[in-house]
């Protein structure tokens, strides 16, 4: 193989591709430049191995060209150069140079393993697309290849690093593609690969992928924003230099050695903020950004104090990512200050090591490696390993891809276990997501949760800094209704995996045991239920047979305690037969459902149901004090939801404070009547001689109807205050 190559005069590393260009115009993808660069941090024998992989790849790709017309081998060398700048190990660089030989040539994986070892062959195979895929659409084929790559990544993280470098070089050379293909690749980059780079903490690659992706997917928007930023940069240059000089002088007075630099605003992030906040460019770009690098953590906090002494901090805009790092390992102090002319100044303070991790993420761990050490544990690696659990619960590759996309959202919530451990979840994550983040078994068996020592419904979204305790029972199992509100891919996949694992026979057996256990609480048994009563309940629940009912219970589609209540409930008295209360709560057909008179919930309210043996289900507003009392007494309580379409009117209570004026009661009553509502009850109480308090029970259709009534009442000049009475 090597005899086919020619050694050029004065060139230490001969090339299979003619190197006719001269510096400085020579591109960086030439093998001689790559090997010279590698000599900075790799021993000579490892550089020779990389060069040997290059010779093999050059021969395998002999005669192949890219759309740009250059020899194909230039692309793998460029990919290796990107990874070399991240100082990755020589086997990863060999795999990068060979990453297309299985996919685009006749070379087999076994041949690579024989030549370069199993480790390199596995990495190349992980990046390669599947040769034959039984897929109906292009989307399914792409998803299947993505799943293959991500699962290979869980075995060796370097697989995704090679893929990110491959995608980055492809994006740099995207201009030769057709416009439609260019937009498709750019969109895939923005939706998948840039977020993966962010999730792994590789900020340098993430920013360039976003920038190149936006250039190709939104070319006109990118050009307009770029031109505007250039003009703004020119107008503000002196001001930025002045602030930077002030920061340096202040830190010099404190005898702090540091590096201070202005931080360019990223066009893609500016565009994202404009869309999210619905504001013009001038508002999101009118922030000066600076970065300060110091030698150690203690100095970071000293610099923070100096900055807060130099300029006033903006309340609520300080974030300590050193004490609580982000999920991708990012650490820094962030603060926003008010500058000398009233403008906001963003300052990031971190050590040099933190900056290296912020730019290169998991790849930063290779900077000082020369041996064959395994990759060290990190939060990013925990996410990678969690993909295996997501895979188990995903039926198709498209489903797996959607689950992974959910976990790639950058917004995060930091919550604590009772032992003080930090769990990082996506924004909007619920108690159930937290349970599955601890362990799949904890998620499968969770029945309740305490947030800040207070019981909350399982669908409760979590906020930063909360402490969450999960309550479990061994016999508990996931509920399909959880899929309506969980947001993490791990939780969604685990719930689906558990439900799929239950066969129909097992589900029926489990459903029978659950129903018998509930009936035993009333001293009854399934064998002694009257046949007519059973037929009536089956008809009400729209179930063909008892077998199907037990399967539904076992699969979690119906709650055993509700079915038991329906089978044993006596016919309600005439005064209890209220059509409003029979089909308003989802999944309670056949049960007596009442609404708490303490809080008077209406459609649209967040509700919870307390199950009382012999009484049925009593629905309360989640904020009702009686709910908290019943929970403390360990009453049977359930998360419930309103039906989508509800007809009828519901009573609710409001307290109205008005000025004492003749005819006020008639004015209030007239306003309520004009909004299509009736007053069911009214009580008045004079307060200080000038005002009165009216307690009204009115009929409304739902929360929207109530809101319209309240707006109408607030428009009356004499109305001072209106609040809804939830039984407090």
Residue 461 has pLDDT above 80, yes or no: yes
Highest mean pLDDT, choosing among 79-83, 241-245, 631-635: 79-83
3-state secondary structure of 298: helix
Q: What is the 3-state secondary structure (H, E, C) of 633-693?
A: CCCEEEECCECCCCCCCEEEEEEEEEECCCCHHHHHHHHHHHCCCCEEEEEEEECCCCEEE
Q: Would residue 342 be called left, alpha or beta, if left means φ above 0 and alpha means ψ between -120 and 50 degrees?
A: left
Residue 423: predicted pLDDT: 81
Q: How far apart are CA 477 and CA 606, in angstroms?
A: 24
Residue 106 has pLDDT above 90, yes or no: no
Read out DSSP for 459-503? TPBP-TT-BEEEEE-TT----GGGGGT---HHHHHHHHHHHHH--
Q: How far apart are CA 365 and CA 538, in angstroms?
A: 62
Provide mean pLDDT across the span 540-563.
Answer: 78
Residue 22: predicted pLDDT: 38
Provide mean pLDDT across the span 82-108.
Answer: 89
- Confidence grade of residue 149 (pLDDT, cut at 50, 70, 90): low
Does the domain at 223-366 match CATH 3.40.50.720? Answer given as no
Residue 572: predicted pLDDT: 41
Residue 25: predicted pLDDT: 38
Residue 504 has pLDDT above 60, yes or no: yes
Question: What are the beta bridge partners of residue 451?
Answer: 454, 468
- Confidence grade of residue 617 (pLDDT, cut at 50, 70, 90): confident
| Residues with catalytic roles | 103-104
- Confidence grade of residue 235 (pLDDT, cut at 50, 70, 90): low
Choose between 529 and 505: higher pLDDT. 529
Residue 571 has pLDDT above 90, yes or no: no
Choose between 465 and 454: higher pLDDT. 454
- Confidence grade of residue 612 (pLDDT, cut at 50, 70, 90): low
Give the β-pairing of 679-686 and 719-724: unpaired
Q: Which of 143, 173, 13, 150 is nearest to 78 (CA)?
A: 173
Residue 613: predicted pLDDT: 52
Provide mean pLDDT across the span 535-548.
Answer: 83
Q: CA of 653: how far to CAs of 608, 638, 645, in Å?
A: 18, 24, 23
Give φ, ψ of 710 to 5 degrees: -65, -40
Choose between 423 and 407: higher pLDDT. 423
Q: Which of 549, 529, 551, 528 is nearest to 539 (CA)?
A: 549
**How many whole angstroms from its chain centre is CA 131?**
32
Domain ranges of the chain: 2-216, 223-366, 411-501, 569-639, 650-724
Residue 306: predicted pLDDT: 92
Query: Rounded mean pLDDT of the chain?
Result: 79
Q: How far apart are CA 56 and CA 48, in angstroms?
A: 12
Residue 132: predicted pLDDT: 43
> What's the pLDDT tens digit per position in 249-285?
999 998 889 899 887 678 888 888 888 778 887 777 6
Choose between 276 and 525: higher pLDDT. 525
3-state secondary structure of 4: helix
Residue 576: predicted pLDDT: 40
Could you tell me which CATH class the domain 411-501 is placed in?
alpha beta
Question: What are the beta bridge partners of residue 721?
Answer: 657
Read out DSSP for 317-368? --EETTTS--TT----EEEEEE-TTS-EEEEEEEEHHHHHHHHHGGGGGGTT
Choose between 675 and 587: higher pLDDT. 675
Under CATH, which number does the domain 2-216 receive? 1.10.3210.10
Provide mean pLDDT across the span 430-443.
Answer: 90
Q: What is the 8-class DSSP label of residue 450?
A: E
> What's the pLDDT tens digit per position in 417-429?
888 787 878 778 8
Provide mean pLDDT across the span 73-92.
Answer: 91
Provide mean pLDDT across the span 188-216.
Answer: 86
Give the β-pairing of 344-351 and 287-294: parallel
Q: Which two tokens stand for residue 311?
A: 């300029």
Can you list the pairs that 246-249 forms with residues at least 24 positions away whose Cβ atoms lie under 8 Å?
246/310, 246/340, 247/290, 247/292, 247/307, 247/310, 247/347
- Confidence grade of residue 584 (pLDDT, cut at 50, 70, 90): low
The reply to whether domains 223-366 and 650-724 share a CATH topology is: no
> Model's pTM, two decimal places?
0.56
Provide mean pLDDT across the span 94-123.
Answer: 89
Provide mean pLDDT across the span 662-675.
Answer: 87
> Whose structure tokens read 């799929």?
500
3-state helix, strand, coil in the chain (%, to 5): 50, 15, 35
Choose between 363 and 165: higher pLDDT. 165
Q: What is the maximum alpha-carbon separation in the chain?
A: 109
Q: Which two tokens stand for residue 681?
A: 């009850």
Residue 95 has pLDDT above 90, yes or no: yes
> What's the pLDDT tens digit per position in 350-385?
999 888 888 877 666 554 444 444 444 455 566 666
Q: What is the 8-class DSSP label of residue 65?
A: B
> What's the pLDDT tens digit per position in 285-309?
656 789 999 999 999 999 999 999 9
Quick one: fold of 650-724? Alpha-Beta Plaits (3.30.70)
> Whose structure tokens read 């006749």?
106
Residue 325: predicted pLDDT: 82
Provide mean pLDDT across the span 458-464.
Answer: 87
């Amino acid at each position: 193989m090597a005899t086919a190559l020619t050694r050029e005069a004065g060139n230490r590393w001969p090339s299979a591709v003619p190197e006719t260009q001269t510096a400085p115009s020579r591109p960086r993808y030439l093998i001689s430049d790559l090997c010279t660069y590698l000599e900075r941090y790799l021993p000579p024998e490892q550089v020779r191995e990389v060069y040997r992989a290059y010779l093999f790849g050059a021969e395998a790709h002999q005669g192949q060209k890219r759309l740009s017309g250059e020899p194909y081998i230039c692309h793998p060398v460029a990919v290796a150069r990107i990874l070399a700048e991240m100082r990755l190990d020589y086997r990863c660089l060999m795999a990068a140079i060979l990453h297309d030989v299985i996919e685009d040539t006749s070379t087999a994986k076994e041949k690579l393993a024989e030549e370069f070892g199993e480790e390199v062959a596995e990495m190349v195979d992980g990046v390669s697309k599947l040769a034959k895929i039984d897929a109906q659409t292009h989307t399914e084929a792409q998803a299947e290849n993505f799943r293959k790559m991500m699962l290979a990544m869980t075995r060796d993280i370097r697989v995704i690093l090679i893929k990110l470098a491959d995608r980055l070089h492809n994006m740099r050379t995207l201009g030769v593609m057709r416009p439609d293909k260019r937009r498709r690749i750019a969109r895939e980059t923005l939706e998948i690969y840039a977020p993966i780079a962010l999730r792994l903490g590789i900020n340098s690659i993430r920013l360039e992928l976003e920038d190149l992706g936006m250039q190709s997917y939104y070319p006109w928007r990118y050009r307009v924003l770029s031109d505007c930023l250039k003009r703004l940069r020119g107008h503000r240059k002196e001001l930025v230099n002045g602030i930077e000089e002030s920061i340096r002088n202040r830190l010099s007075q404190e005898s702090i050695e540091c590096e201070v630099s202005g931080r360019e605003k990223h066009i893609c992030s500016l565009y994202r903020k404009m869309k999210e906040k619905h504001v013009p460019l001038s508002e999101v770009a009118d922030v000066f950004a600076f970065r300060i690098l110091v030698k150690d953590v203690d100095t970071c906090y000293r610099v923070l104090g100096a900055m807060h002494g130099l300029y006033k901090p903006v309340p609520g805009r300080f974030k300590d990512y050193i004490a609580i790092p982000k999920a991708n390992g990012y650490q820094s102090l962030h603060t926003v200050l008010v500058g000398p002319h009233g403008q906001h100044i963003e300052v990031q303070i971190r050590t040099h090591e933190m900056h290296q991790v912020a730019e290169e993420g998991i790849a930063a761990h290779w900077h000082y490696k020369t041996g064959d050490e395994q990759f060290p544990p990190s939060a990013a690696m925990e996410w990678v390993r969690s993909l295996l659990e997501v895979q188990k619960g995903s039926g198709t590759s498209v489903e797996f891809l959607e689950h992974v996309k959910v976990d790639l959202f950058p917004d995060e919530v930091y919550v604590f276990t009772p032992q003080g451990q930090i769990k990082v979840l996506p924004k909007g994550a619920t108690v159930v997501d937290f349970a599955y983040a601890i362990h799949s078994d904890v998620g499968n068996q969770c029945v309740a949760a305490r947030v800040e020592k207070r019981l909350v419904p399982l669908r409760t979204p979590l906020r930063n800094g909360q402490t969450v305790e999960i309550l479990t029972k061994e016999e508990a199992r996931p509920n399909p209704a959880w899929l309506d509100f969980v947001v993490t891919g791990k939780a969604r996949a685990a719930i689906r995996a558990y439900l799929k694992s239950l066969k129909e026979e097992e589900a029926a057996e489990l459903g029978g045991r659950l129903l018998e256990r509930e009936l035993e609480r009333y001293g009854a048994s399934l064998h002694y239920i009257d046949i007519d009563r059973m037929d009536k309940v089956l008809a009400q629940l729209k179930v063909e047979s008892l077998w199907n009912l037990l399967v539904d219970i076992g699969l979690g589609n119906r709650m055993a305690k509700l079915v038991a209540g329906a089978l044993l409930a006596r016919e309600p008295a005439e005064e209890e037969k209220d059509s409003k209360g029979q089909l308003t709560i989802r999944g309670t057909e056949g049960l007596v459902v009442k609404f708490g008179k303490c809080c008077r919930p209406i459609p649209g309210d967040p509700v919870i149901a307390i199950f009382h043996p012999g009484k049925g289900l009593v629905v309360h507003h989640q904020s009702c004090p009686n709910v908290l009392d019943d929970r403390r007494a360990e009453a049977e309580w359930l998360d419930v939801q309103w039906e989508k379409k509800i007809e009828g009117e519901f009573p609710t209570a409001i307290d109205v404070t008005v000025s004492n004026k003749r005819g006020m009661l008639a004015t209030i009553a007239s306003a309520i009547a004009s909004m299509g509502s009736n007053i069911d009850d009214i009580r008045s109480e004079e307060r200080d001689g000038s005002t009165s308090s009216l307690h009204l029970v009115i009929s409304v259709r739902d929360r929207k109807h109530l809101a319209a009534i309240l707006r109408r009442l607030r428009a009356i000049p004499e109305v001072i205050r209106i609040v809804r009475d939830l039984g407090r």
